[in-house]
Amino acid sequence: MEKQKPPVQKNETIDLTFVDLTHEGDGVGKINGYPLFVPYALPGETAKVKVIKVKKNFAIGKLLEIEKVSPERVEPPCDVYIQCGGCQLQHMSYDLQLDMKHNQVKSALKKIGHIEGIPIHPTIGMEDPWRYRNKVQIPVAHRHGELITGFYRKRSHEIIEGMDRCVITAEINDRMVEAVRRMADRLGITAYDEQSHKGVLRHIMVRTGQETGETMIVIVTRTEQLPYEEELVKELHETYPQIKSIIQNVNKEKTNVILGKKTKVLWGEEYINDTIGDIKFAISPKSFYQINPPQTKKLYDKALEYADLSGDEIVIDAYCGIGTISLFLAQKAKKVYGVEIVPEAISDAKMNAKLNGIENTEFYVGEAEKIMPWWTAQGLRPDVIVVDPPRKGCDEALLDAMLTMKPKKIVYVSCNPSTLARDLRFLEDGGYETKQVQPVDMFPQTGHIEAVAEVVLKV
């Protein structure tokens, strides 16, 4: 067969009309069926594009000039949107973002899972899709004789200068980072330098409970000793009464990992508190905690609705983290078994159960794909299984275990539509049926997509 040559060449400038979006939110234009992917272009737009990379089956272009502008295009409110790369969708209206996420779920289910004709509901969005992140971790550097803080430029370790706010981060966190930076600068605390592996201050991490307003500051240093510790700590908590906890984390390694092993409380509590719905969570510096609690509540309410518990059920929560979903389920079930690979998360889960007076949960440390077959062998037969795996989805051993356990219902919470679709296909081939899927926007302005599926045993 004659080999088809790509219809474009590198460095060529072309006119392109956009017809679709990729799952990262890049514009897709086609020349005789050959796709070109162009960041920041929107469907319905026509633009001058410079071809920057040509492959056999696709090319990548750079947007030069938009000739026909989509009505869905909006001005990104962030000054450093393009440099930063933390957000991918700020140039899109929020309605288009929600629509795009819905379509991604629908198309993954169809293409990968061969699942069609079931309700895939419109994405549940936020009323105000800005300033939602309850946690920031900002690197510190020394430039022009002073300390600076800000995110790294895309694909680099160079801090974007003049970046004093992040429009998807809770305002209080921005203010706290700024306060620590200013005080540390005045006291003469040095910034860590990656090249020479010298200096003190590496990162400033701030987490604030959205419901409680309690703030934790974590000062990440290369050195055991934090110079001017007393002055810094005193000024911080005297100036800002919402600060409940000031922690030092020591990270001596040459590494991109932000937190080191050792944490010490410099002032105040070891934890801050937050609530999601009726459940209270104590959050330690290293704990995973959902970064958008109001949307998490909506997601878990859906998961709970799909689980349809009456109070008599045995439930498994696989990939349970700090037990967030388990504790919600436990209020409506007879017994919940949680399994999770990170030991610290399981100690948090146990502590959070106690904190809420919840006594019908049991948490286990281990790989879900090993513990589930073991539970099966022990004769455990849950009525409902909830899974919330990482991006790579469920391990086949775990899916097999679910088919053997034969719960009447499976609720699948997913942060990756592709692996969701793959796993739903596996379950459907094993005798289950996907009833409905609900996308929930946990990360507005970014390309991340979260969805929950209701899966029932066919009779």
The residues carrying an active-site annotation are 415
In the complex, minimum distance from the CB of residue 210 to ligand SAH, in angstroms, rounded to a whole number: 15
Residue 445 marked in a binding site? no
In the complex, minimum distance from the CB of residue 368 to ligand SAH, in angstroms, rounded to a whole number: 4
**Toward ligand SAH, which CB reaches closer, 200 or 316?**
316
DSSP of 305-364, one letter per residue? HHHT--S--EEEEES-TTTHHHHHHHTTSSEEEEEES-HHHHHHHHHHHHHTT--SEEEE
Closest residue to ligand SAH: CB criterion: 321
Burial of 60 from C-beta contacts in 10 A (0-12 / 13-18 / 19+): middle
| Distance in angstroms (rounded) separating the CA atoms of residues 367 and 371 | 6
Burial of 236 from C-beta contacts in 10 A (0-12 / 13-18 / 19+): buried
Give residue for tokens 């899109």.
92
Residue 128 marked in a binding site? no
Burial of 201 from C-beta contacts in 10 A (0-12 / 13-18 / 19+): buried
Residue 340 marked in a binding site? yes
In the complex, minimum distance from the CB of residue 323 to ligand SAH, in angstroms, rounded to a whole number: 8
| Distance in angstroms (rounded) separating the CA atoms of residues 325 and 31 | 47
**Toward ligand SAH, which CB reaches closer, 31 or 415?**
415
In the complex, minimum distance from the CB of residue 322 to ligand SAH, in angstroms, rounded to a whole number: 6
| Distance in angstroms (rounded) separating the CA atoms of residues 150 and 160 | 6
Cβ-based neighbour number of residue 289 at 10 Å? 21
Tell me the residue length of the chain: 459
Bridge partner residues of 452 (DSSP): 413, 438
**Toward ligand SAH, which CB reaches closer, 98 or 322?**
322
Judge whether 406 and 381 are in contact, CB under 8 Å.
yes
- Where on the phi/psi map is residue 213: left (φ > 0), alpha (ψ -120 to 50), or beta? left
**Toward ligand SAH, which CB reaches closer, 78 or 320?**
320
DSSP code, position 193:
B
Q: Which residues bind ligand SAH (CB under 6 A)?
A: 288, 290, 319-322, 324-325, 339-342, 345, 367-369, 388, 390
**Toward ligand SAH, which CB reaches closer, 155 or 392?**
392
| Of residues 349, 345, 402, the one with CA closest to residue 372 | 402
Residue 290 marked in a binding site? yes
To 5 degrees, how large is the angle CA 443–CA 444–CA 447? 70
In the complex, minimum distance from the CB of residue 341 to ligand SAH, in angstroms, rounded to a whole number: 4
In the complex, minimum distance from the CB of residue 338 to ligand SAH, in angstroms, rounded to a whole number: 9
In the complex, minimum distance from the CB of residue 57 to ligand SAH, in angstroms, rounded to a whole number: 32
317 — phi, psi (to 5°)? Answer: -115, 100
**Toward ligand SAH, which CB reaches closer, 368 or 437?**
368
**Toward ligand SAH, which CB reaches closer, 12 or 344?**
344
Enumerate residues 6+ apart whose C-beta is below 8 A from 253: 260
Enumerate residues 6+ apart whose C-beta is below 8 A from 263: 218, 247, 248, 249, 250, 285, 286
Bridge partner residues of 305 (DSSP): none
- Please report, in range form, the residues annotated as the binding site for S-adenosyl-L-methionine: 290, 319, 340, 388
